[in-house]
Amino acid sequence: MRNLITTIALAAAAAPALAQAPDPTLARNLAATCANCHGTNGVTRGSDVEPLAGKPKDELARKVMEFKQGKKPGTIMPQLAKGYTDEQIELMAGWFAAQPAK
What residues line the site for ligand HEC (CB under 6 A)? 33-34, 36-38, 49-50, 52, 60, 63-64, 74-77, 80, 92
> Cβ 70 to ligand HEC, closest distance in Å?
12
> Cβ 38 to ligand HEC, closest distance in Å?
5
> Cβ 42 to ligand HEC, closest distance in Å?
8
Cβ(70)–Cβ(80) below 8 Å: no
Give the C-alpha separation, 24 to 89, whole Å: 14
Instruction: For residue 39, give Cα distances in angstroms to 29, 44, 51, 63.
Output: 14, 4, 7, 18
CB-nearer residue toward ligand HEC: 21 or 75: 75
CB-nearer residue toward ligand HEC: 43 or 80: 80
Which residues are within 8 A (CB) of 46 and not within 5 positions of it... i.e. 6 or more apart?
none
> Cβ 2 to ligand HEC, closest distance in Å?
44
CB-nearer residue toward ligand HEC: 10 or 101: 101
Give the C-alpha separation, 65 to 87, whole Å: 11
Name the residue with the smallest CB distance to ligand HEC.
74
Measure CA 38 to chain center.
Answer: 14
